[in-house]
């Protein structure tokens, strides 16, 4: 629970341009409020058209135009649809051409229709994010339609919450597969295409649960912590390229 004074201070820090180094320092101080860490990790800041997301306020900031960039964005609309649709529409507004994927055909096609109605360019592909074959299909379709992939957004996620001792092996596998294995598969699928272009950005969505332990969230914590460190490892390995 936040009192109004704390929230006003936090909001003031996050409402400003987060690409400014002074604001990032201020943001770092306030994201530790009440023992929880929220929002951006400044070490992932980038000046090459990569975004910052303020997870509490639902804002996205861009350092440069995404005009003409090809973005493959996957999400599960039933669980995280509002935020994910906001990301899709913001990318479209910035001029990106978007490949939306989801296991929910109706939700995915609805999002693509909304993008097109606003003058954007997007296609939808049905995808199970834990299927290697589906990832191959997504990459092949993206290349066929747009010739390249500039950006991948790994944004699918579920949250299975419950006491650790009552958590089943099947629940554990489902949580890790959707939240972490899907990121592994997605990165493996697109990196070869990005290497061909000598450029590319991969955006892996983690969570505050990737930074701090939460009660009843052992599997979710493990999955999101895994995403965070997997991202760092891949950045070290492929960033120089």
Tokens representing residue 86 in the block: 């906001």
> d(Cα 215, Cα 184) in Å, to the nearest integer?
26
From CA 241, how far away is CA 231, in angstroms rounded?
Answer: 15
CA 117/CA 191 separation, integer angstroms: 31
Neighbours of 229 (CB within 10 A): 11
CA distance 162 to 149: 38
160: left (phi over 0), alpha (psi -120 to 50) or beta: beta
With a CB cutoff of 8 Å and minimum separation 6, the contacts of 143 are: 149, 193
Q: Which residues are catalytic?
A: 220
H or E segment at 154? strand 151-154
Place of tokens 């090459």: 48
The pair of three-digit structure tokens given for residue 2, joined into one six-digit string: 């936040």
Please say whether the beta carbons of 37 and 29 come within 8 A: no
CB 156 within 8 A of CB 206: no
């Amino acid at each position: 629970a936040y009192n109004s004074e704390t929230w006003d201070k936090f909001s003031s820090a996050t409402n400003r341009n987060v690409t400014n180094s002074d604001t990032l320092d201020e943001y770092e101080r306030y994201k530790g409020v009440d023992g929880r860490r929220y929002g951006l990790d400044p070490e992932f800041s980038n000046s090459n058209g990569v975004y910052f997301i303020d997870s509490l306020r639902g804002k996205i900031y861009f350092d440069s135009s995404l005009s003409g960039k090809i973005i493959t964005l996957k999400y599960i609309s039933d669980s995280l649809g509002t935020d994910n649709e906001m990301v899709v529409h913001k990318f479209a507004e910035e001029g990106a051409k978007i490949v939306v994927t989801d296991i929910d055909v109706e939700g995915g096609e609805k999002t693509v229709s909304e993008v097109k109605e606003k003058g954007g360019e997007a296609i939808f592909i049905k995808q199970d994010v834990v299927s290697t074959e589906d990832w191959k299909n997504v990459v092949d379709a993206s290349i066929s339609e747009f010739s390249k992939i500039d950006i991948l957004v790994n944004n699918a996620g579920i949250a299975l919450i419950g006491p650790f001792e009552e958590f089943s092996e099947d629940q554990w596998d489902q949580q890790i597969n959707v939240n972490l294995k899907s990121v592994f598969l997605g990165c493996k699928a697109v990196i070869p295409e990005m290497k061909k272009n000598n450029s590319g950005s991969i955006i892996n969505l983690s969570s505050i649960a990737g930074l701090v332990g939460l009660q009843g969230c052992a599997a979710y914590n493990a999955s999101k912590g895994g995403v965070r460190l997997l991202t760092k490892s891949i950045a070290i390995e492929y960033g120089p390229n």
